[in-house]
Structure 1
Amino acid sequence: MSRRGSQGSVDARPRSWRSRLRRLLPTAGRPARAVVAGFAMAVGVGTALLSLPVAAASRESTDFVHALFTATSAVSITGLAVVDTGSHWSTFGQVVILVLIQAGGLGIMTLASILGLLVSRRLGLGMELTAQRETRSLQLGDVRRVVIGVIRLSLLFEVVIAVVLGARLLIAYDYSPGDAVYSGIFHSVASFNNAGFSLHSDSMTRFVADPWISLTVSLAVIAGGLGFPVLFEVGRRLRGPHRWSMHAKITLGATALLLLIGFVFITASEWRNEHTMGGFGVPTKLLAGFFAAVMPRSGGLNSVDVGEMTSASLLVQDVLMFIGGGSGSTAGGIKVTTFALLAFVIVAEIRGEPTVHVMGRRLASSVQRQALTVALLSVGLVMLTTITLLSITPFSLDEVLFESISAVATVGLSTGITADLPPIAQVLMSALMFIGRLGPVTLAAALALRDRPRRYELPEERPIVG
């Protein structure tokens, strides 16, 4: 087609996918600002509601810092707590926390899935991609399918988990029907959304020998940590793993490997520890070890006392928490895909290969730079936080490093020092949970969606490395 004259001229060329996206999602041109504003508003509303006297069991207003910390922890689906959830908050307060967890979980899964669809235009979602590949555009119907799909899948998992937990509590633990239903729903939402909140002061330690509770919660955390794109793709192509996308294969493979490594190392380290697993029989030790290996991916619950674990176990959990779960999921961390891609880059460099090949595909250099950026910025944030907390608190390096990674990776596990942190440290931890939840998502999206062509290249030079 040709352009018209200067009067009333229009460009009849197809609109780029970016311009189409801005028409569909007005804030997509500046995703970071819109996302941060939305989640900050949720934190503000949650803080205001939790500060009300009706939100506390004592009917007295909760301290602002404690309300802010709890609201941030719930919205960022972390699970760190400065007050006991079951005893400090009234039913109203607990429902507010539950709603914040659900909103945060759905928001993160929806946001990450849509941004992932924007970046790759293909996450195995089966959304009539032929036209999309031709026009390089994102259609409004695709966004609608993602949002509806996330909500439906989340509610399906949460209902099934709540039924299993509620039935077990009713049958085996003499809960009243109302308490069993309420506890089942609360822990179902918390576990699937990878939020470490529990109505029990000892988290899940009372259920350490109960496979019905422990395995159900563990599987819920794993499912939530895989992410909507992977769950949807696996569900549609269950009998055709060879047709799964690279993203799904990497996420599932890396998740299985990390769970196995965590299970072996943590169980071996705690096998004879009388303060954790030493007094249990072999089946309970194995069950507790599996539970402890699952929770660092961002679950945040515990069936043994984390504060009594060996330094080796804490260090293994530090690594697992930092890596986190799958992209587009409720889990935190730098994500298993980022970790796996960096591993592939290292292997290719060791072999002296000019490009990185993964599962029959060449890995784009831009993706390699994005993974490296996310990982190194996260390392820097953890180190800065650890140094700051060491300077303003009396706790040991093991405790402070564990707490810092748990906040930055939005995990929720703690050695028990959270409530004893000074107010300034609790405010700092609130900021870390907020940054840790939104930072990797918005940063990765900004890096991937950025397109700044360079019209020239400078002469090449190779400095000495190592």
Structure 2
Amino acid sequence: MPVRSAAPRRFGPATTVLVGYAAVVGTGFLLLALPIAKAGPGGAHPLDALFTSISAVSVTGLVTVGTAEHWSLFGQVVILALVQTGGLGIMTLASLIGLAVARKLSLGSKLSTSAETQGVGLADVRRFIVGAIAVSLIVEAVGAVVLAVWFATAGGFAPLRAAWYGVFHSVSAFNNAGFTILPRGLVPFVGDPVVCLVLSALVLIGSLGFPVLDELRRYPRTPLRWSMNTRLVLWGTVVLTALGTVFVTAVEWGRASTFGPLDWPTKLLAGFFQAAQTRSGGFSTVDVGQLDDATLIVMDVLMFIGGGPAGTAGGIKITTFGVLFFILVAEMRGRSAVNVFGKRLSRAVHRQAITVSLVAVGAIVASTAVLALLSDEPVDRLAFEAVSAFATAGLSTGITPDLPPAAQALLLVLMFAGRLGPILLASALAVRVRPLTYEFPKERPIIG
């Protein structure tokens, strides 16, 4: 009898996404390790190259070396390409190439893109890909032009340098990456309304997520047609940014090391800017390491929540937090169903939100404990770095470059896992799913 050859093993959608991101990270590492990528003689340290590559692909913005001083123009271009690739998504870009070449998408491409974006239906994948690319390029182009003109006129930079600064920071902001190549960072622009408001707008727009931006484009004047996802993201973004602005501004108002020396309009602008960056932006116009402990705790919470799903922001997502909030409200009111904006939530969504949140909390707590064992830095600072890494926010108290290599490696893992998402990572690592064909009898333990 003829022996039938074994069928080639196919990766599942989640595993394909993991492999795709790993391949791009590896490519970025190899490019950044080249001597041409480093400013000055010699090449970059392998850990610095790998850390920067993962930080860029995961659109986090944490760094072990200064982006402006350590990397050459070639290195900065590589970082920007990695940011754009990571922000849009590996599978999104791969599917776009497939559309351009074959004029159609295979089922595997649709499944991989849907898994990567975590919620885009198969029927909407093609529109999602085209829309995501179009929105990204248009918004980034507008931001780049405004910033370039402002850097050239008000900033006093040479035209070509101003143009490069405009393009780099527009792409970095829209993709919620937080990388900056300005010689002194954004601190000199703490009172500059154009730079601060443009960067904040780009961060907030990118954090909404492409499904929300698509609905806003299609139904700009008919909010009743907006989905629950869009309403949760919009309301959550407004409320969290407003509350964050009020809290940060109030706490830091008179502190000599942060907002104290600023006039009151600049204090308001700085408070709004820092609150907006917790969506996952990662920029800062003040020394984050000098912020009050209470401010850092609130920023931990805001970074942990993050932005909208299927976008460039990190965190557990505003929709996940919103579901948990409405579950709490329903339980406190003694209601059996959870209703949000006139619609009832599926119980499967309850479980997904709780699972994502608990996995994220577990990852951050465990990593903070390990960081405390590896470093002598204060625990609150280590927790801030861990939350920022897992939520791909990129804000830092300034201790990351001074951490031991093992601690930096842990942050590296957190950034990669945080970008892919706890559920995506877990499903990719799972061997198989075995559905139960039976149910156990019900029983209730005592809660509280």
TM-score, with normalisation over the residues of structure 2? Answer: 0.90
TM alignment of 1:86-101, pairs within 5 A: 86-101=68-83
The superposition leaves residues 382-411 of structure 1 with CA deviations (integer Å, 9 ceiling, x where unpaired) of: 001100011110100111010010001111
Q: How far apart are the structure 1 equivalents of 2:49 and 2:297? A: 30
Q: How far apart are the structure 2 equivalents of 1:205 and 1:445? A: 41
Greater gyration radius: 1
Counterpart of 2:203?
221
The superposition leaves residues 272-312 of structure 1 with CA deviations (integer Å, 9 ceiling, x where unpaired) of: 01111111111100000000100111000001110100001
Counterpart of 2:399?
417
Counterpart of 2:108?
none
Q: Does the 8 Å CA contact 1:108/1:328 hold for their aligned counterparts? A: no
> Shift of the alpha carbon at 1:201?
4.9
Match of 1:311 among 293, 301, 308: 293
The superposition leaves residues 129-149 of structure 1 with CA deviations (integer Å, 9 ceiling, x where unpaired) of: xxxxxxxxx34xx43222111
Q: Does the 8 Å CA contact 1:374/1:444 hold for their aligned counterparts? A: no
Q: How far apart are the structure 2 equivalents of 1:72 and 1:453? A: 35
Counterpart of 1:283?
265
| Aligned: 1:170 with 2:152 | yes
Gapped regions of structure 2 (runs ≥ 5): 1-8, 93-110
Query: Do the aligned partners of residues 68 and 314 (structure 1) sit closer, same or farther apart at CA in structure 2, a change above 3 Å counting?
Result: same
Counterpart of 1:430?
412
Query: Do the aligned partners of residues 353 and 443 (structure 1) sit closer, same or farther apart at CA in structure 2, a change above 3 Å counting?
Result: farther
Query: Do the aligned partners of residues 265 and 119 (structure 1) sit closer, same or farther apart at CA in structure 2, a change above 3 Å counting?
Result: closer
Query: Do the aligned partners of residues 441 and 98 (structure 1) sit closer, same or farther apart at CA in structure 2, a change above 3 Å counting?
Result: farther
Query: Do the aligned partners of residues 120 and 149 (structure 1) sit closer, same or farther apart at CA in structure 2, a change above 3 Å counting?
Result: closer
How many residue pairs match? The answer is 420
Counterpart of 2:371?
389
Query: Do the aligned partners of residues 61 and 173 (structure 1) sit closer, same or farther apart at CA in structure 2, a change above 3 Å counting?
Result: same
Query: Do the aligned partners of residues 187 and 309 (structure 1) sit closer, same or farther apart at CA in structure 2, a change above 3 Å counting?
Result: same
Q: How far apart are the structure 1 equivalents of 2:217 and 2:200? A: 19
Overall identity of the aligned pairs, in %: 51
Counterpart of 2:46?
64
Q: Does the 8 Å CA contact 1:370/1:444 hold for their aligned counterparts? A: no
Q: How far apart are the structure 2 equivalents of 1:70 and 1:428? A: 14
> Shift of the alpha carbon at 1:236?
1.4
The superposition leaves residues 172-220 of structure 1 with CA deviations (integer Å, 9 ceiling, x where unpaired) of: 1111110011000000000000001000254311111110000000000
Q: How far apart are the structure 2 equivalents of 1:312 and 1:277? A: 15
Q: How far apart are the structure 1 equivalents of 2:113 and 2:13? A: 13
Query: Do the aligned partners of residues 201 and 433 (structure 1) sit closer, same or farther apart at CA in structure 2, a change above 3 Å counting?
Result: farther
Q: How far apart are the structure 2 equivalents of 1:33 and 1:55? A: 31
> Shift of the alpha carbon at 1:115?
4.0
Q: Does the 8 Å CA contact 1:83/1:419 hold for their aligned counterparts? A: yes
Counterpart of 1:148?
130
Q: How far apart are the structure 2 equivalents of 1:427 and 1:451? A: 31
Q: Does the 8 Å CA contact 2:119/2:310 hold for their aligned counterparts? A: no
The superposition leaves residues 55-111 of structure 1 with CA deviations (integer Å, 9 ceiling, x where unpaired) of: 001131111001000000000000001111011100000000000000001116949
Q: Does the 8 Å CA contact 1:326/1:336 hold for their aligned counterparts? A: yes
Q: Match of 1:297, SS?
A: coil
TM alignment of 1:21-420, pairs within 5 A: 30-107=12-89, 110=92, 114-115=114-115, 119=119, 121=121, 138-139=122-123, 142-420=124-402
Q: How far apart are the structure 2 equivalents of 1:383 and 1:406? A: 13
Q: Does the 8 Å CA contact 2:13/2:112 hold for their aligned counterparts? A: no
Gapped regions of structure 1 (runs ≥ 5): 1-25, 122-137
Counterpart of 2:105?
none
| AA at the equivalent of 1:153 | V
Q: Match of 2:442, SS?
A: coil
| AA at the equivalent of 1:220 | L
* Larger CA deviation: 201-210 vs 58-67: 201-210
